[in-house]
Structure 1
Amino acid sequence: MAQHFAQLSDPHLTSLAGVRPRALRLKQLGGYLSWLRRRRHQHRPEVLQALQLDLQQSPPQQLLVTGDLTHIGLPQEFAEAAAWLRRLGDPARVALVPGNHDACVAAPWGDTFALWQPYMAADGDAAGADLSQYPTLRVRGELAFIGLSSAVPTPYGRASGTLGEEQRRKLAPLLDACRARGLFRVVYLHHCPAPGYERKRKALTDAAPLWALLEKHGAELVLHGHGHHNVEHTLHSAEGPVPVIGVASASAIGGGRHEPAAYNRYAVTRQDSSWALQVCTRVYSPHSGTFAQGDRSSIELQREHRT
């Protein structure tokens, strides 16, 4: 029987109305001006409402949110996003990794990420005190969801991310342990892990060592956001090819060079010597105000199953 999950990213759901620009730090001020001039017109609450309605039609067993819920990482944005997460679903069914906008500047944990902690937590761990809790692991049936945080404060003009040596060091044995259990490993993070894909100022700074680690230790699927585009790469691991899939912003109205909002649904079925992966993209239509069927694909991943 298939197991179902979904991924959405970059909802940028918060409003900066009423924010006092003089109280902001330089990088936040730049983000505020971007919101004032264009982002508030591009990332729309009515699109997110349509998204929630579409998810409710056929709720996934697990929903992955790959970061950038906020615009400039203000405490009031974290509170607004926490309320949105509660409407989205129970923390046991919704798993979150943060993005670079959420870590726009360094800020007190208790006023920011602590408000999202139930959604960031691994199985059996509800009391993380900082982002060093990553990588996280949630096991749902035969699926292992492994979350990575690439969210770090960066200088003005940069939107890059970094995992860091410690997080990568923890990831390798986690991948091996999940493989030994015969699980379908889904790695999810905000920034694209493909080396050289993003411009330097927006890239994952340690994409190359992460890519090499995944080539060696394997995974079945890698998911990301960040670029506001639907995109796919293939990583060739020692165990076989691994789809690396990025998704557009969940709230984008679209138009011009901007892709309309989308999210991806996945279905995984174990076969004798492989996994069958179904990928279904749901795309927002500004004309109907609803999400509709987009691209569909079927991928067979040959793997040596262990139980």
Structure 2
Amino acid sequence: MFILAHLSDIHLAPLPRPNPSELLSKRGLGYINWLRKRRRVHRADMLARVVADLKARKPDHIAVTGDLVNLSLTSEFAPACAFLAGLGDANAVTVVPGNHDSYVRSAETLALQHWADYMRGDNNENFPFVRRRGPAAIVGLSTSLPTAPLSATGKLHGDQLARVADILAALGREKAFRVVLIHHPPTEGAHHFRRLRDADKMRDALKACGAELVLHGHHHESSLVWLPGPEHRIPVIGVPSASGSPDYHDDPGGYNLYEIDGEPGAWRCTLVSRGWHRDDRRITELRRQPLMG
């Protein structure tokens, strides 16, 4: 059995003190929001507990679907790289960026500069990239782009849409267990200012080419939506913020495990959600659900 772990929306705390010049942009509003609310929502102690619980499960690979930082301050990226190194080396951890990882245009390339080893395919390709780990063919996508103030939308920039369709189709012919990593979910119903702007085209690619799992973050909540595929429904799964406090309305900190077994053409996969239980005030198993097989 191969165990894939999935966590997201790290929002690493504490936030370094910004330089005044860094706040002459969208970051200024983000910093006010951090001081008023988000510094109490995203807690370093909660993140440490979630990571300790995850590592105790000894997964074979860890997927991180973005938002490691908060305002894309230059001083945030090195601590985030140290956080990733604490999870494992670049062969054991795969990352795709989120909207907070390219919060402003001046920081658009910082995530790739600092975390490149975690965001590169087996053949050194960038987005979309493919990593083979056990039975899983991990397909990494980037929806991370600078946006206007009060906007947190994403888009599959460049030629990712055309290329991911070809990649998924080729892997499908091999009957590989395809795991798509993306920050913004390609589902319907997202708030206009938080949506994936080309979600309909990504859904078309999934419907035509298929996948076994689509893993995302962004909404800070545990979710499971089924999308149509060419041969079977595709589970699209979100997780809470890994640093989320239990004292606010979003789902508190947690992560998912995917127990993958079987063989090409006859895969089995079970979803195991672990996280902070509001009543027991501890991290525990919250849900176990077969997804296929």
Q: Which band: TM-score by shorter chain? A: over 0.9
8 A contact 2:177–2:264 mirrored in 1:
no
The alpha-carbon deviation at position 111 of structure 1 amounts to 4.8
Q: Residue type of the partner of 1:266?
A: Y
Q: Deviations over 1:189-233 (max 9, x none)?
A: 0001103x2111000000000001100000111110000011111
Give the Cα–Cα distance (whole angstroms) in 2 for the partners of residues 46 and 92 of structure 1.
26
Unaligned 5+ segments in structure 2 are: none
The alpha-carbon deviation at position 299 of structure 1 amounts to 2.0
- Distance 1:272-1:194 versus aligned 2 partners, 3 A rule: closer
Give the Cα–Cα distance (whole angstroms) in 1 for the partners of residues 259 and 152 of structure 2.
32
8 A contact 2:175–2:265 mirrored in 1:
no
- Distance 1:67-1:108 versus aligned 2 partners, 3 A rule: closer
Tell me the TM-score normalised to structure 1 length.
Answer: 0.90
Aligned match of 1:235 = 227
Aligned match of 1:8 = 7
Aligned match of 2:290 = 298
Give the Cα–Cα distance (whole angstroms) in 1 for the partners of residues 135 and 144 of structure 2.
28
Give the Cα–Cα distance (whole angstroms) in 2 for the partners of residues 171 and 110 of structure 1.
21
Aligned match of 2:256 = 264
Instruction: Work out whether 1:248 is the aligned partner of 2:227.
Output: no
Give the Cα–Cα distance (whole angstroms) in 2 for the partners of residues 137 and 18 of structure 1.
37
Aligned match of 2:193 = 201
The alpha-carbon deviation at position 48 of structure 1 amounts to 1.3
- Distance 1:124-1:273 versus aligned 2 partners, 3 A rule: closer
The alpha-carbon deviation at position 108 of structure 1 amounts to 5.5
Aligned match of 1:304 = none
Aligned match of 1:55 = 54
The partner residue of 1:186 within 179, 191, 208 is 179
Give the Cα–Cα distance (whole angstroms) in 1 for the partners of residues 113 and 162 of structure 2.
24
8 A contact 1:74–1:112 mirrored in 2:
no
Give the Cα–Cα distance (whole angstroms) in 2 for the partners of residues 274 and 218 of structure 1.
15
Q: Secondary structure at the match of 2:39?
A: helix
Moved more, 159-168 or 63-72: 159-168
Give the Cα–Cα distance (whole angstroms) in 2 for the partners of residues 239 and 138 of structure 1.
23
Give the Cα–Cα distance (whole angstroms) in 2 for the partners of residues 171 and 230 of structure 1.
25
Give the Cα–Cα distance (whole angstroms) in 1 for the partners of residues 33 and 90 of structure 2.
31
Aligned match of 2:266 = 274
Q: Secondary structure at the match of 2:159?
A: helix
Q: Residue type of the partner of 1:67?
A: G
Give the Cα–Cα distance (whole angstroms) in 2 for the partners of residues 272 and 134 of structure 1.
25
Superposition pairs of residues 73-222 of structure 1, within 5 angstroms:
73-107=72-106, 111-125=110-124, 133-164=126-157, 166-195=159-188, 197-222=189-214
CA RMSD of aligned residues (A): 1.8
**Among the aligned pairs, what percent are the same residue?**
36
Give the Cα–Cα distance (whole angstroms) in 2 for the partners of residues 116 and 272 of structure 1.
32
Q: Secondary structure at the match of 1:223?
A: strand
Give the Cα–Cα distance (whole angstroms) in 1 for the partners of residues 95 and 263 of structure 2.
29
Q: Residue type of the partner of 1:297?
A: Q
8 A contact 1:66–1:188 mirrored in 2:
yes
Q: Secondary structure at the match of 1:298?
A: strand
Q: Residue type of the partner of 1:92?
A: N
Q: How many residues align?
A: 293
- Distance 1:243-1:116 versus aligned 2 partners, 3 A rule: same
The alpha-carbon deviation at position 112 of structure 1 amounts to 4.3
The alpha-carbon deviation at position 106 of structure 1 amounts to 1.5
Give the Cα–Cα distance (whole angstroms) in 2 for the partners of residues 236 and 276 of structure 1.
18
- Distance 1:178-1:35 versus aligned 2 partners, 3 A rule: same
Q: Residue type of the partner of 2:19?
A: R
Give the Cα–Cα distance (whole angstroms) in 2 for the partners of residues 8 and 282 of structure 1.
10
- Distance 1:49-1:272 versus aligned 2 partners, 3 A rule: closer
Give the Cα–Cα distance (whole angstroms) in 2 for the partners of residues 109 and 26 of structure 1.
14
The alpha-carbon deviation at position 273 of structure 1 amounts to 4.8
Instruction: Work out whether 1:284 is the aligned partner of 2:276.
Output: yes
Give the Cα–Cα distance (whole angstroms) in 2 for the partners of residues 164 and 120 of structure 1.
16
The alpha-carbon deviation at position 109 of structure 1 amounts to 6.5
Give the Cα–Cα distance (whole angstroms) in 1 for the partners of residues 32 and 96 of structure 2.
25
Give the Cα–Cα distance (whole angstroms) in 2 for the partners of residues 168 and 110 of structure 1.
20
8 A contact 1:253–1:286 mirrored in 2:
no
Q: Secondary structure at the match of 2:233?
A: strand
